[in-house]
Amino acid sequence: MREKIETLLTEIERLTANSLEEVEAIRIKYLSKKGIIATLMDEFRHVPADRKREVGMKMNALKQAATERLQQLKEQFAQNGTAQAGNDLSRTAYPVALGTRHPLSIVREEICDIFKRLGFTIAEGPEVEDDWHVFSSLNFADDHPARDMQDTFFIQHDPQIVLRTHTSSVQTRIMEKSAPPIRIICPGRVYRNEAISYRAHCFFHQVEALYIDRDVSFADLKQALLFFAREMFGTETKIRLRPSYFPFTEPSAEMDISCNICGGEGCPFCKHTGWVEILGCGMVDPNVLENCGIDSKQYTGYALGMGIERITNLKYQVKDLRMFSENDLRFLEQFRAAH
Ligand code: DAH
């Protein structure tokens, strides 16, 4: 009998009702003259005399618990005929539309996650930068065309303060204040004084990666690039490196991946070449290491940088760059399923 009472107690605690009719049904089931508790009271007669006191107290507790629970259930409907047990009364009365993650955020995180799996950690730097971090420390000669007014936004006519034109500036910031080994990934917004069109914008996003240690070689870079390409675009993806030039890397290269839209067959997206360019990379120029106080005789490193918009275009075939910053919900909501 004790067990029966215990089971009933938990059962009663968990009771819920969606309407006053249901509350009444509960009352009849448990507390009416022929209800469960009354029937149990009848059985009480057969309890041996020495246990009557203990069982009797439990019976009373049960009856009280049932009465109280019934009262609680009833009270829910006192003010509002439709309130339900467990309702969150702090919720708004109208449905709130859930936002979606921005496609660039989805892709940025995917890129960072892949590099995190290789041991890279996130580093960030300011968007308003000085000439040293954006250009000089990175081995840009004074008359390098990238410093040209055409590309760079200057702050308040001060040629020393600029909006960063690439996230490579974060490399220098981190190298200046930390000792190797350095293994960082730097996502961020960058600015260039470009006419806005479907394929260029005055701001966009990049991710930069930097690895400095003893004996870092071009082979390490290539392996990291292959890993990244396959994680991002699928295991069938091929990569190729073409020689290139950046002031801050020597040697420098640009990486193409086999076009993930046509699988390398040739299509309008890859201009029928089967390859699409996705990033720049190279071995950090010893001058850059020395500029940041790192001994280039002891340490070497690789760096790479890519545009998040470009990777996103490849993944989702967005044809017009401007869509990323127009906040058109019809565009953004298409990415609901992506994350
Ligand atoms: N900073 C370059 C750009 O904005 C991209 C880049 C190229 C970054 C090569 C690198 C690199 O770290 O090694 O176009």
Q: Could you report the per-residue pLDDT of 173-206, keeping only the tens digit for each? A: 999 999 999 999 999 999 999 999 998 999 999 9
122 — pLDDT class (breaks 50, 70, 90)? very high
- 15-19, 85-89, 252-256 — most confident range: 252-256
Q: Is the pLDDT of residue 148 over 80?
A: no
Is the C-beta atom of 304 inside 6 A of ligand 1? yes
167: CA distance to ligand 1 center in Å? Answer: 8
Query: Residue 101 and residue 106: Cα distance in Å, rounded?
Result: 7
Please check the confidence at residue 80 and state whether its pLDDT lies above 60: no
pLDDT at 339: 57
48-52 average pLDDT score: 87
Would you say the CB of residue 188 lies under 6 angstroms from ligand 1? no
Amino acid at 234: G
Confidence at residue 149, expressed as pLDDT on a 0 to 100 scale: 67
Tokens describing residue 306: 């890519």
Residue in 174, 52, 76 with CA at minimum distance from that of residue 121: 174
Ranked by mean pLDDT, which of 97-106, 122-131, 140-149 comes out on top? 122-131
Does the beta carbon of 307 sit less than 6 angstroms from any atom of ligand 1? no
DSSP-based three-state secondary structure for 281: strand
Which residue's CA is the closest to the ligand 1 atom numbered 12?
304
Strand partners, 121: 184
CB of 84 closer than 8 Å to CB of 18: yes
- Radius of gyration over alpha carbons of the chain, in Å? 34
The mean pLDDT value for 304-323 works out to 93
Nearest CA owner, ligand 1 atom 5: 305
* Ligand 1 proximity of 280 Cβ (cutoff 6 Å): yes
Most ligand 1 atoms within 8 A of CB, residue of 222, 248, 287 to mutate: 248
Q: Is the CB of 166 under 6 A from ligand 1?
A: yes
Q: Compute the distance from residue 206 Cα to the ligand 1 centre, in Å.
A: 9
Q: Which atom of ligand 1 is nearest to the CA of 282?
A: 13
Per-residue tokens: 155:
């702050």
Burial profile 280-296: b = 16 or more Cβ within 10 angstroms, e = fewer: bbbbbbbebbebbebeb
Under the banding of pLDDT at 50, 70 and 90, the label for residue 19 is: confident
Q: Which long-range contacts (CB under 8 A, 24 or more apart) does 20-29 make?
A: 20/74, 20/77, 20/81, 23/70, 23/73, 23/74, 23/77, 26/70, 26/73, 27/70
Q: CB of 314 within 8 A of CB of 278?
A: yes
Please give the pLDDT value at position 338. 63
pLDDT band for position 82 (cuts 50, 70, 90): low
**Domains of the chain with CATH codes:** 2-86 (no CATH), 103-338 (3.30.930.10)
Q: DSSP state, 94?
A: S
